[in-house]
Amino acid sequence: MRFVRGWGVGLGLAVLGAARPGLAQEPIDFARQVLPVLEKHCFECHRAAYTDAQGRRRTPKGGLRLDGREWIAKGGDNGRVLVPGKPEQSELYTRTVLPEDHPDRMPDGRDALPARETEILRAWIAAGAGFGAWSGATGPEPVRLTGSGAARPAEPVAAWRTEVAKGLAPLAPEVLAKAAGGKARITPIAEGSPLLRVEFPGHEADVGDQDLAALAPLREHVAQLILPRARVTDRGMAAVARLPRLVHLDLRETAVGDPGVAQLGGLTELRVLNLFATPVTDAGVATLARLSKLESVYLWESEVTEAGLVRLRAALPGARIVGAPALPAPETDGAGARNPRRPR
Amino acid sequence: MSCHDLLHAADDLTRRMFLGETARRLFGLGAASFLLRDPALPGTDGFALGPASARNVVYVFLRGGLSHIDSFDPKPGAATAGPVQAIATSADGVQVSEYFPHLARQMDKVAILSGMSSTQGAHAQGQYLMRTGYELRGTIQHPSLGAWVNRMAGRINPTMPGHVILGGGADMPSAGFFPPQFLALPIGDPKAGLQHSARARGVDEATFQRRLDLLAKMNQGFQERFPHKQVTAYGDMYAAAVRLMRSDDLVAFDLGAEPAGIRNAYGDGTFGQGCLLARRLVEHGVRFVEVVSDGWDTHVQNFDALEEKTPDLDRGLACLLADLDARGLLRETLVVVATEFGRSPEITRDNNGRNHYPKAFSCLLAGGGIRGGVRYGQTDAEGKEVLAGRTTIPDLNATIAHALGLPLEHVVHSPAGRPFTVADKGKPVLALFG
């Protein structure tokens, strides 16, 4: 078999290069036929970094390694060097057959590959560039996290937990139990943290301004105050304004409007403010511009106009000012048009 | 039969039957057990909770095995892609299949886990593993993730259940070896809401109260003579049921209270309306809501089936993410999209289908402190092998548990004394957080 194939190559080259018979039709065994060519002519420069006999550190030239199947598939700094089935587009072959004096000819500064060996490369690529069982050096570690979100700096969700708590000792459990008074759910934001989350789940309709005033004993510790649908008013915000470590205030679906929001200007730690479905207007949110730590302000279903959102975004460039979402358009009778291939 | 008729029939019933029947009528069989639990502060069970980036979970479960190549790990140009194209999304560098045009606009909020890998290739075993984190065994029923979350972090709203399953059958693993108060409340049809939770027509509040007082009187003697835990529990459950009936939170179950524009945006199918109900339940402090979608087992005519089924999924998910985000809820609500396994990259020659494929598939995470606009993990050019970021099902559960601040090392013993943890030996994918 070996004899027959060798004879075929010899004959092909002898007859006429252009005809290229024999080899292209024969399956090429990578490990037995191609690998020795790469080892002899390419590996000196295109393999894993190593220290040569003279003690010099040798890194793969052009970022190209040919000592593993995944490395070969990956290519070098300038991209792929192998296009299976297309030798004329594969630099792994084309650069070995450039004229002797061409600056791109490989191997660089060495004798050209004998025609028999360039023909092995060509035929191997033409036949699909299979590697058989050979895999060689372990390939590059593929990137685990991709997409535009991967480049974003770490979200500040966690940073404030230690920052704001600095110098504060946790309150005694009795103080917390007393303050809860049957309605509030008061919990440390994490085991051992002095900072508290205060909410009234299941009791929102009974929660009024007096319940906010009752938070006074906890005032240094409240970091999250969650009041959706509570019956709190603008007047109640006076008590909220006295919570120096308040980071997250949720007033969604309450009656708190401009006079209430105007009192929050001193909450310098405030990062999240939810005013969804409140009567707050452009004038009200203008006072928020002072709160430089704000990261997110939610204003959908409030009275704030598009122009008001734009102004607030300009005043707080680091914050996410959230208005109405782009919900999918409701389905109509012609809903199938959205996905033309959907059977109807 | 109304409550009224039941009282008349009470002469013929044992007291236990009466109580059981009444509880069943109020909340459906098994459903009332969630009411057994009094509100507990975190830590009262001795679970040391770490910093949580998520408070609630909406866990979308696609039963049958969603094809990863045709959804969130598209392989444009590969032979295994079939006729499905990939489309760009609101996150540069992240593509999804053309079946998800609405979701594509929300991908800046979503992390795709493309390196999911399961050990189970059959539905029952795969679903069990995905929902409990443990392999199906004859000797024990493991608690579902929702039960673990409620046990460790506690219920948020004392009036509401801590764990609701929308559109899922009673065959779903639920409380496992945990006490019955960790059973999920199943709601078959989200559009119907919570059945039998209103006072019977013609019974005014005063009459209703008189009947409750009468019931209490009837029960009193029995409870004094038989002061067992279960007898008390039934009484407590009844009281809690009445509390929910009268509470402002009951409206959470009523999709009719939602503006038509929002209802329509979610799509009128069971899945979309389930997503909408999930949002309402999260707003009312339900810790863990599951939305189950059936029919993803596309062995036959895979592409036809997906063209039929994906529009509801696409619309419902996209709407849920956009709506939660604009209400300020997504920052503390972790949305999970899970399925028991992927589908084979090879398209079957006979019927253009795809078979089960647990080796590589995709799940989604969004909100609750998860970094959006990313793909974690990578499969090869044909979607066959995980090349990087291999994520096991316990790893996924550990990631969810980490977001909620649950202690991963905390051992809970089964009644027989066997040790278990919330995510078995799973490791959270920390790269997905901040």
The complex's ipTM? 0.84
The pTM assigned to this predicted structure is 0.77
Any idea which of A42-56, B240-254, B270-284 has the lowest mean pLDDT?
B240-254
Q: Flag if A193 and B267 touch (Cβ within 8 Å).
A: no
Ranges of H-type helices in chain A: 2-15, 35-41, 69-74, 91-94, 115-126, 148-151, 159-165, 173-180, 209-213, 237-240, 258-262, 282-286, 306-315
**Looking at residue B156, what is its pLDDT?**
94
Q: How confident is the model at residue B412 (pLDDT cuts 50, 70, 90)?
A: very high
Q: Return the bridge partners of A322, or none.
A: A298
What is the token pair recorded at A319?
């914050």
Q: B54-198+260-432 has which fold?
A: Alkaline Phosphatase, subunit A (3.40.720)
**Looking at residue B229, what is its pLDDT?**
62
CA nearest B366: which of B96, B185, B123, B144? B96
Tell me how close the Cα of A145 comes to any Cα of chain B, in angstroms: 5
For residues B116, B118, B121 and B126, what is the CA-based torsion angle, rounded to 10 degrees? -100
Residue type, B47: F
Any idea which of A112-121, B167-176, B363-372 has the lowest mean pLDDT?
B167-176
CA nearest B392: which of B165, B151, B129, B142? B129
A chain contacts of residue B93, beta-carbon cutoff 8 Å: 146-148, 150
CA nearest A248: which of A214, A282, A275? A275
Q: Flag if B374 and A338 touch (Cβ within 8 Å).
A: no
Asked if residues B73 and B63 have their Cβ atoms less than 8 Å apart, the reply is no
pLDDT > 70 fraction of chain B, expressed in percent and rounded: 84
Domain boundaries, chain B: 54-198+260-432
Q: Rounded to the nearest 5°, which phi and psi values hold at B115?
A: -105, 25
Rounded to 5°, angle at Cα B199 from B197 and B201: 125
Q: Flag if A149 and B99 touch (Cβ within 8 Å).
A: no
Q: Measured between alpha carbons, how far is residue A11 from residues A19, A93, A114, A272, A313 in Å?
A: 10, 21, 15, 79, 76
Tell me how close the Cα of A88 comes to any Cα of chain B, in angstroms: 21
B chain contacts of residue A162, beta-carbon cutoff 8 Å: none
What residue in B sits closest to A160 (Cα-Cα)? Answer: B51
pLDDT tens-digit series, residues B310-358: 999 999 999 999 999 999 999 999 999 999 999 999 999 999 999 999 9
Rounded to 5°, angle at Cα B418 from B412 and B420: 40
* Across B144-155, average pLDDT: 95
Residue A300 neighbours by CB under 8 Å, 6+ apart? A276, A277, A322, A323, A324, A325, B326, B327
Q: Which residues in chain A (15-54) have CB-CB distances under 8 A to chain B?
A: none
B25 or B235, greater pLDDT: B235
Q: Which residues in chain B (311-340) have CB-CB distances under 8 A to chain A?
A: 311, 315, 318-319, 322-323, 325-328, 331
| Cα separation, B93 vs B73, whole angstroms | 12
**Looking at residue B15, what is its pLDDT?**
54
pLDDT tens-digit series, residues B294-311: 999 999 999 999 999 999
Residue type, B365: L
**Looking at residue B234, what is its pLDDT?**
63
B353 or B10, greater pLDDT: B353
What is the token pair recorded at A205?
């309709």
Block mean pLDDT (10 aa), chain A, length 344? 39 41 66 94 91 86 89 83 90 93 90 93 92 81 82 65 91 86 89 94 93 95 97 97 97 98 96 98 93 95 97 95 94 50 40
Query: Could you count the other beta carbons within 10 Å of the beta carbon of residue A139?
Result: 16
* Across B211-238, average pLDDT: 73
Residue B61 neighbours by CB under 8 Å, 6+ apart? B127, B130, B131, B168, B290, B291, B292, B293, B338, B339
3-state helix, strand and coil shares in percent for chain B, rounded to the nearest 5: 40, 15, 45
Q: Is A242 on the interface with B (CB under 8 A)?
A: no
B chain contacts of residue A323, beta-carbon cutoff 8 Å: 326
Nearest to B247 among A149, A202, A331 (CB): A202
Q: Is B108 on the interface with A (CB under 8 A)?
A: yes
**Beta strand residue intervals within B106-145, DSSP E:** 110-117
Long-range contacts formed by A300-303: CB under 8 A, 24+ apart: A300/A276, A300/A324, A300/A325, A300/B326, A300/B327, A301/A276, A301/A277, A302/A275, A302/A276, A302/A277, A302/A278, A303/A257, A303/A279
Helix (H) or strand (E) holding B305: helix B302-326
**Looking at residue B10, what is its pLDDT?**
39
Q: Flag if B328 and A322 touch (Cβ within 8 Å).
A: yes
Q: Is A181 on the interface with B (CB under 8 A)?
A: no
Q: Is A117 on the interface with B (CB under 8 A)?
A: no
* Across B35-54, average pLDDT: 64
Q: How confident is the model at residue B39 (pLDDT cuts 50, 70, 90)?
A: very low
What residue in A sits closest to B103 (Cα-Cα)? Answer: A328
B chain contacts of residue A154, beta-carbon cutoff 8 Å: 434
Q: Measured between alpha carbons, how far is residue B323 from residues B69, B189, B247, B279, B318 in Å?
A: 27, 21, 25, 8, 8
CA nearest B58: which of B274, B374, B371, B265? B274
Q: How confident is the model at residue B3 (pLDDT cuts 50, 70, 90)?
A: very low
Asked if residues A211 and A231 have their Cβ atoms less than 8 Å apart, the reply is no
Within a 13 Å sphere around the CA of A151, how many CA atoms are in the beta-carbon half? Answer: 6
Q: Which residues in chain A (264-323) have CB-CB distances under 8 A to chain B?
A: 272, 274, 276, 296, 298, 300, 322-323
What is the token pair recorded at B382?
């044909």
Q: Flag if B93 and A339 touch (Cβ within 8 Å).
A: no
**Looking at residue B236, what is its pLDDT?**
65
Q: Is B368 on the interface with A (CB under 8 A)?
A: no
| Cα separation, B310 vs B98, whole angstroms | 10
**Looking at residue A4, what is its pLDDT?**
40
- Give the length of chain B: 434
Asked if residues B99 and B310 have their Cβ atoms less than 8 Å apart, the reply is yes
Q: Flag if B285 and A157 touch (Cβ within 8 Å).
A: no
Q: How confident is the model at residue B202 (pLDDT cuts 50, 70, 90)?
A: confident
Residue type, B412: V
| B-interface mutation test, from A69, A138, A148, most B Cβ less than 10 A away | A148
**Looking at residue B135, what is its pLDDT?**
95
| Cα separation, B52 vs B400, whole angstroms | 10
Within a 13 Å sphere around the CA of B316, how many CA atoms are in the beta-carbon half? Answer: 27
Q: Rounded to the nearest 5°, which phi and psi values hold at B378?
A: -150, 135
Residue A237: helix, strand or coil by DSSP?
helix
Q: Which residues in chain B (221-260) have CB-CB distances under 8 A to chain A?
A: 247-249
CA nearest B330: which of B365, B373, B292, B295? B365
